[in-house]
């Protein structure tokens, strides 16, 4: 016999008792645990966060300590002086081997951390003490699970005196220093057409928590592109009319917006971001060069690669709460047709040079909305040196000779662009 009662009209339980069956199951679980001699509190302890790993990323710009866990960590921190220390209390944790490993992860050459001490401060609190080499400005924040990572607690230690910025200030000052030039000579080379050194901003993609693409043979994109970038910097440094800066010169995370800001602060004349990405199929091969697009990607592959590269901030561990969300849109709105046109000319010359050492992917210079190319006043390109997801190209990237050839090819394109398009006046406004 069917009931004529309307379920929606039946009395509803009080909000505290909306799950009576679940409540009964919990009570039964507690009773059964007592019967078999197991402390219910011990069972509930299994719901506490479990540490999946700890990592330390030392760099001149800042040192990052990452603590990855299965659940969000409740944290309290404070600083002490004489000597300088950062004290971090992790709530609801029991000290385990994973946290103890933090001690051995700190190396003597870390710019900011002298040593780490870890201990069970109270029954429910694990205390971490970072013994510092000097005063720092700490930044502590958490990120939600993304990609291969679970929850992460980030402890970023920045210099209190802002010394890393001084290097960019020095480079910008050197760029404005006058040099001896032959004014009567035809302006066919950069040294004859300008009275200052031309600055190239080199951006090795990814870094730190963000490994970039990983080849089937275990090659990390972030390591390969850093090596190519260093080789390119050496080529530029040997030139009498050019200078170079790098957005990172070590294995640490740099947000996309910060990469652009660094280049602008150094008053760069050109910007090149170096990558070795993966694709959905290992059959994809060849080198590519990209410029910014204001009107969508030039191909589905370009769109896919741009989305992949733009995800670096999330994977690398960006503090969303304090990030300047307006930066990228503002830079994009400021981007002019002239900047993009210059980037296309610059990219075409680099692509032509790269084509002499490797097969070129696609039919020509491509465009997409890469966030790292959005400096409004610097011609900017992104170079995919090879597909690390292709087994044969991964072998190329593992070869120092190929990495040197790639650096030489990019340098050759840069020189050709400066020779035909010397930037006589600066358009940079910081």
DSSP 304-334: HHHHHHHTHHHHHT--TTTS-TTHHHHHHHH
Same domain, 70 and 120: yes
Tell which residue, 91, 82, 97, has the closest CA to residue 131: 82
Same domain, 155 and 167: no
CA atoms within 13 A on the CB side of 183: 4
Q: Is residue 22 part of a domain?
A: no
What residues make up the domain containing 73? 51-159
The 8-class DSSP code of residue 270 comes to E
Give me the pLDDT at residue 287, please.
96
Give me the pLDDT at residue 323, please.
62
Place of tokens 């294995």: 251
Whichever domain contains 233, its CATH number is 3.40.630.40
Q: Is residue 24 part of a domain?
A: no
Name the H helices within 198-336: 221-237, 256-265, 300-310, 312-316, 327-334
Q: Is residue 122 part of a domain?
A: yes
Last residue in a domain, options 100, 127, 159: 159
Tell which residue, 217, 105, 194, 246, has the closest CA to residue 421: 194
Q: 198-204 and 242-246: which strand pairing?
A: parallel
SS3 of 425, please? coil
Same domain, 403 and 269: yes
Rounded distance, CA 300 to CA 402, Å? Answer: 28
Q: Is residue 396 part of a domain?
A: yes
pLDDT tens digit at each of 430 positions of the chain: 444 444 333 333 333 333 333 333 333 334 333 333 444 444 444 578 999 999 999 999 999 999 999 999 999 999 999 999 999 999 999 999 999 999 999 999 999 999 999 999 999 999 999 999 999 999 999 999 999 999 999 999 999 987 655 555 555 555 555 433 433 344 444 544 446 899 999 999 999 999 999 999 999 999 999 999 999 999 999 999 999 999 999 999 999 999 999 999 999 999 999 999 898 889 999 999 999 988 888 888 889 889 999 999 999 999 887 665 545 454 555 557 888 999 999 999 999 999 999 999 988 999 999 999 999 899 999 999 999 999 999 999 999 999 999 999 999 999 999 999 987 555 444 4
Give me the pLDDT at residue 63, please.
97
Residue 117, beta-bridge partner list: 129
Same domain, 71 and 183: no
Q: Is residue 45 part of a domain?
A: no
Same domain, 100 and 225: no
Same domain, 215 and 91: no
Residue 383, beta-bridge partner list: 274, 289
Same domain, 190 and 335: yes
Say if residues 66 and 54 touch (Cβ distance below 8 Å).
Answer: yes
Q: Which residues contact 34 (CB under 8 A, 6 or more apart)?
A: 40
Same domain, 243 and 349: yes
Place of tokens 């043979």: 217
Tokens of 361: 């992917």
Q: How far apart, in Å, do the first and last CA atoms of the chain sit? A: 80
Give me the pLDDT at residue 47, please.
76
Residues in the chain: 430
pTM of the model: 0.81
Q: Is residue 230 part of a domain?
A: yes
Same domain, 107 and 217: no
Say if residues 423 and 198 touch (Cβ distance below 8 Å).
Answer: yes
Q: Cis omega (within 30 of 0) on the bond before 60?
A: no
Domain count, the chain: 2
Degrees, nearest 5: CA angle 379-382-386: 150
Same domain, 321 and 181: yes
Same domain, 174 and 155: no
Q: Is residue 184 part of a domain?
A: yes
Residues 150-153: contacts with CB under 8 Å, at least 24 apart: 150/52, 150/68, 150/69, 150/70, 151/49, 151/68, 151/69, 151/70, 151/71, 151/72, 151/73, 152/66, 152/67, 152/68, 152/69, 152/209, 152/317, 153/66, 153/67, 153/68, 153/69, 153/73, 153/75, 153/90
Give me the pLDDT at residue 243, please.
97
Last residue in a domain, options 100, 124, 159: 159
Give me the pLDDT at residue 184, please.
39
Same domain, 120 and 179: no
Q: Is residue 35 part of a domain?
A: no
Last residue in a domain, options 100, 125, 159: 159
Whichever domain contains 99, its CATH number is 2.60.40.3500
């Amino acid at each position: 016999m069917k009931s004529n009662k309307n379920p929606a009209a039946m009395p509803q339980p009080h909000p505290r008792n909306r799950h009576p069956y679940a409540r009964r199951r919990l009570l039964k679980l507690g009773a059964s645990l007592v019967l078999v001699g197991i402390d219910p509190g011990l069972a509930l302890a299994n719901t506490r966060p479990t540490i999946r790993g700890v990592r330390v990323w030392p760099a001149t710009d800042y040192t990052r300590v990452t603590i990855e866990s299965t659940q969000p960590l409740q944290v309290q921190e404070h600083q002490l002086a004489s000597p300088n220390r950062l004290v971090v209390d992790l709530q609801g944790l029991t000290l385990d081997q994973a946290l103890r490993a933090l001690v051995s992860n700190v190396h003597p050459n870390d710019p900011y951390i002298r040593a780490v001490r870890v201990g069970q401060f109270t029954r429910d609190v694990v205390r971490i003490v970072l013994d510092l080499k000097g005063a720092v400005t700490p930044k502590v924040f958490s990120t939600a699970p993304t990609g291969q990572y679970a929850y992460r607690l980030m402890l970023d230690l920045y210099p209190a005196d802002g010394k890393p910025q001084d290097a960019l200030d020095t480079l910008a000052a050197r760029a404005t220093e006058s040099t001896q030039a032959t004014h009567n000579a035809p302006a066919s080379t950069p040294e004859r057409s300008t009275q200052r050194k031309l600055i190239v901003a080199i951006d090795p993609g990814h870094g730190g928590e963000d490994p970039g693409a990983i080849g089937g043979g275990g090659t990390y994109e972030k390591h390969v592109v850093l090596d190519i970038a260093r080789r390119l910097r050496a080529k530029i440094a040997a030139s009498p009319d050019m200078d170079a800066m790098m957005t990172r010169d070590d294995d640490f995370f740099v947000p996309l917006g910060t990469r652009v800001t660094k280049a602008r602060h150094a008053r760069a004349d050109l910007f090149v971001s170096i990558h070795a990405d993966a694709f959905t199929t290992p059959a994809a091969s060849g080198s590519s060069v990209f410029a910014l697009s204001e009107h969508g990607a030039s191909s589905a592959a370009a769109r896919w690669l741009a989305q992949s590269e733009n995800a670096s901030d999330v994977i690398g561990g960006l503090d969303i709460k304090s990030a300047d969300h307006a930066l990228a849109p503002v830079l994009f709105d400021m981007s002019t047709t002239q900047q993009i046109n210059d980037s296309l000319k610059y990219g075409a010359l680099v692509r032509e040079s790269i084509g002499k050492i490797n097969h070129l992917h696609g039919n020509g210079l491509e465009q997409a909305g890469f966030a790292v190319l959005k400096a409004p006043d610097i011609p900017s390109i992104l170079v995919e040196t090879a597909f690390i997801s292709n087994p044969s190209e991964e072998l190329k990237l593992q070869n120092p000779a190929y990495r040197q050839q790639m650096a030489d090819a990019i340098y050759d394109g840069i020189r050709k662009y400066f020779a035909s398009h010397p930037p006589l006046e600066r358009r940079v406004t910081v």
